[in-house]
Amino acid sequence: MADSSFDIVSKLDRQEIDNAVNQAIKEVGQRYDFRNTGASISLNGDEIVMTANAEERVLAVLDVLQSKLVRRGISLKALEVGEPKQSGKEVRLAAGLKEGIASDEAKKISKIIRDEGPKGVKAQIQGDELRVSSKSRDDLQAVIALLKGKDLDVALQFINYR
């Protein structure tokens, strides 16, 4: 019998991110507590920029954005939030979007599978994803459960299960 396998990836659904940002823009525009604060959100490629006239306001805009992302099923681990920066009369906050598994994270995940996973399970790093293979599908299910239980720095998805 051939080996069963699945891939571990960290991908973002760009359409859902766009929808979440648009919903956050709409809410920021309608809420009374954001009136006359210059609060705004914009999505530029892999970066979401939030602005307001005070640090508390820009953090409130970030909170609105995070709630919309969670509601749309996007993990907050995919958001890399920087520090609020004063520029003139406004405060800017940039949040980058992380996609793909960095090599050090991939090595860490591979080590977890080797050390704590069932015997006979192999993990191979392939670029920015991992391929996990085993003779037993039950072992693969155990690896998925193991990784879901761990608190890792990346949002993981499990695809191509066969």
Per-residue pLDDT for 102 more than 90? no
Q: What is the pLDDT, as a whole number, of residue 148?
A: 87
Per-residue pLDDT for 27 more than 60? yes
Could you read off the pLDDT of 118-153 as tens digits, one per residue? 888 888 888 888 899 988 888 888 888 888 888 888
Classified as helix, coil or strand, 95 is: strand
Please give the radius of gyration of the chain, using alpha carbons only, rounded to the nearest integer: 20
Q: State pTM to two decimals.
A: 0.83
For the four alpha carbons of 6, 10, 11 and 17, in that order, the dihedral sign comes to: positive
Half-sphere exposure of 105 (CA within 13 A, CB side): 20
Q: Alpha-carbon distance 161 to 139, whole Å? A: 12
Asked whether 143 and 121 are in contact (CB, 8 A), the reply is yes
